[in-house]
Amino acid sequence: MISKAKEIEKEAIISVKEAAILINKKEAINTINILKETISKKDKVDKEEFIVAINSAKEEINSITSEKEAVSKKEVVNAFNKLAETIKNKDTANKEEAIRAINVLKEDISNISLDSAVKELTNLKIKYLGKKSELSLILKSVSKLEDSERKEVGKALNEIFKNVKDAFDVEFKKIKEKEIEQKIQLEKIDVTLPGKKVVIGEMHPISKVLNKINDIFISLGFSIVDGPEIETDYYNFEALNIPKDHPARNTQDTFYIAENLLLRSQTSPVQIHTMQNSKPPIKILSPGRVYRADATDATHSPVFHQVEGLLVDKNISMANLKAILELFIKKLYSNNVKVRFRPHHFPFTEPSAEMDISCFKCGGVGCPLCKYEGFIEVLGCGMVHENVLKNCNINPEVYSGFAFGLGLERIVMMLYGITDLRLFYENDMRFLKQF
């Protein structure tokens, strides 16, 4: 029993070492290239001569000792044996056939990796150490021995089993280390090489100006509030004193998802949500995307940005509105900018006004940009309509407030002298880098 186990041990360790011998894959392929070159130089080649050349190349493979870019030596030799067997089975072998056979051999060896060595070792481990292996069956039979010899035999057999297992563990570890080494070689980085240039984008002019506007109003005590872009008809229109038959809806035609569900045409619904959920005093700024069914041209887009402000408290008047907006415009543009207010009509404010600033190109003298008026419209504003306050359960007899709204793209275009709104949405780095 012990002698049989020792025979298996010897056989297993030899098989393990043969399966785990690694050689340099590149050198193996070079050997094939030499074989191919030798055959190519001949005018013709016969079967016996080709087989001799194969055996000579196989000896060269067996002499390779380097393990750099390692593969299983056994697999490489098997590939040569397969080629030799193919040639032996032919009645004749001409030069073209020989070269084709060599190319197939080269491709086979190119596809060999350390995985083949791992697979071979795994199969051998099952053969020698698996549950149905001869060695395992011998170990199981120890229980049938007499008590007097069971201990000694069992100890000897366990030692043999351990020796075989250790042999496998050593070779598996060796191949694993080689795999890691190859992976490191493939993934290594030369830190002395110049790094790849990272292309950094530019802050969009809309974002840049919006940040500036936010900062101005934050310094004045306003809070930045966001809201949903999909709104109900009530919040987008009716709560803002724009009933279903009101003509003001014509200028704010938007995109409807359902009969009472739409993409907001203004950020005013944020003000309604805030007034319904908060008690005065209220002091907010609500920037965001809005949508209207406009054709795209140099001054219109179906998607654009608005910034709206709201202040509700006791004793708020047009004087407060005028003071806040004048301060805002001077901080945004310049202290030299002149401001004027013109009466206007908005359904959600009463009284209402449009605010103009002196033309930044001509200084108020008159030019084509301001249509020779000396002023350019920048925003709409007014005192919050009492119906809007009532819709939000705020008593208009106690509280009053003002609201204003501006088109962000228009402000940006005026600040930077941009003449076509479509440039904002083309993501052209040549345009964006100017800001």
Q: CATH number of the domain at 305, please.
A: 3.30.930.10
10 Å CB burial of residue 86 (0-12, 13-18, 19+) is middle
**Total Cβ atoms within 10 A of residue 138:** 18
Predicted local confidence at residue 181, as pLDDT: 75
Amino acid letter, 168:
F
Q: Please check whether residue 282 lies inside any domain of the structure.
A: yes
Q: Which of 66, 2, 57 is nearest to 30 (CA)?
A: 57
Per-residue confidence at 351, pLDDT binned at 50, 70, 90? very high
How do beta strands 339-346 and 22-24 pair?
Answer: unpaired
Predicted local confidence at residue 20, as pLDDT: 58
Predicted local confidence at residue 10, as pLDDT: 78
Of the residues 187, 217, 239, the one at which a domain ends: 187
Predicted local confidence at residue 157, as pLDDT: 76
Predicted local confidence at residue 72, as pLDDT: 58
Peptide bond into 351 cis (omega under 30): yes
Domain that holds residue 22: 2-187
Q: Which of 263, 299, 271, 311 is nearest to 287 (CA)?
A: 271
Are residues 161 and 228 part of one domain?
no
109 or 423, which is more confident? 423
| Whole-number CA gyration radius for the chain | 43
Q: Please check whether residue 139 lies inside any domain of the structure.
A: yes
Peptide bond into 243 cis (omega under 30): no
What number is the average pLDDT over the span 271-288? 95
Are residues 409 and 272 part of one domain?
yes
Residues ≥6 apart with Cβ < 8 Å to 90: 47, 97
Predicted local confidence at residue 155, as pLDDT: 80
Of the residues 187, 213, 238, the one at which a domain ends: 187
98-127: pLDDT as tens digits: 666 666 666 665 555 667 667 777 887 888
Are residues 377 and 244 part of one domain?
yes
Predicted local confidence at residue 26, as pLDDT: 60
396-406: pLDDT as tens digits: 999 999 999 99
Q: Please check whether residue 194 lies inside any domain of the structure.
A: no
164-217: pLDDT as tens digits: 888 878 878 877 877 777 677 777 777 788 878 887 778 899 999 999 999 999
Q: Please check whether residue 192 lies inside any domain of the structure.
A: no
Tell me the range of 185-189, 334-338, 349-353 where mean pLDDT is highest.
349-353
Q: Please check whether residue 198 lies inside any domain of the structure.
A: no
Per-residue confidence at 307, pLDDT binned at 50, 70, 90? very high
Of the residues 140, 160, 187, the one at which a domain ends: 187
Are residues 278 and 163 part of one domain?
no
Count the domains in the chain.
2
Are residues 165 and 218 part of one domain?
no
What number is the average pLDDT over the span 358-367? 79
